[in-house]
Amino acid sequence: MSELRIAIVGFGKIARDQHVGAIAVVQGATLAAVASRNASLPGLPHFATIEELLEQGPPIDAVSLCTPPQVRRAQAATALAAGKHVMLEKPPGIGVAELDPLIAMAAEAKRTLFATWHSRYAPAVEPARQWLATRRLKSVHINWKEDVRVWHPGQTWIWEPGGLGVFDPGINALSILTRILPQPVFVTAAELAFPANCQAPIAANLTLTDIGGLPVTAEFDFRQTGPQSWDILVDTDGGQMKLSRGARIMAVDGKVVADAPDEEYRELYRRFVALTATGMSDVDLAPLRLVADAFLLGKRTLVEPFVD
């Protein structure tokens, strides 16, 4: 199999911390260039924009878009029009409807569009899905709280319209939820706390359910200090299952049954390489729909201004 030559577009923290290392170890993938206005990687061709990359850069087969979501739709359309496969960091866009034209473009061009949900590739997700498939679920609770100053320092885009605020990490939990539960869920109520100087929420509480009435609650907060919380608890007729540390660890009634090293981004690129070999796409919008519905249904309150 020939190497998939990939260019990273947008070279911020997540690209440096996760994407570069993952591409380096995944068989069939190679990093060929970087496009970013503000950063570069020694030894690689560098361009300021995706347009410069496509016009002046080395031969590439695919782009991995790690830019803020507000600009990804236009960049993805540019790349698809140029005949490139496209990987979208999460969230795949700032709205649900804007993905439909990209899906159609990819299909017409026989190119891959991959809307990634890296948390679904955490090591305990599939064991949890399989375990829950044979139990009767009683309730679900998500506790997803982290310090925005640690994980998103100076990233002002996250507070702008389309930046999602606390739903940027919260959508990771929802991507796990929509993978492990046997039935689709939907939002019935939401409370959103907006800093007085921001256009996106800093905290949110959601109430969800499925067609059978399963009670599901979620607490998201960007103001957590000290230990960080990335937990999902599911009460069942076979005991309580807990996913912790972002679904790296699975325990049942306190006994660890799954614990493995984190290879989320390596698995993303393995999946991307496999998809591009066939030209198939993978665009699951269920987590984004839940966030959109939370904004539609959310009762909004103002809280103190956010200062980074």
- Measured CA distances, 81 to 37, 70, 85, 106, 111 (Å): 22, 19, 10, 9, 10
b/e per residue 15-40 (b: at least 16 CB within 10 A): beebbbebbeebeebebbbbbbeeee
For residue 81, what is the enclosing H or E element?
helix 72-81
Catalytic residue among 13, 84, 90, 145: 90
Nearest CA among 159, 101, 95 for reference residue 306: 159
Please, are residues 158 and 200 in contact by the beta-carbon 8 Å criterion? yes
How many CA atoms within 13 Å lie on the side-chain side of 233? Answer: 13
Helix count and strand count (H, E) for the chain: 10, 15
For residue 240, what is the enclosing H or E element?
strand 239-244
For residue 140, what is the enclosing H or E element?
strand 137-145
90 is catalytic: yes
Please, are residues 126 and 212 in contact by the beta-carbon 8 Å criterion? no
Catalytic residues: 90
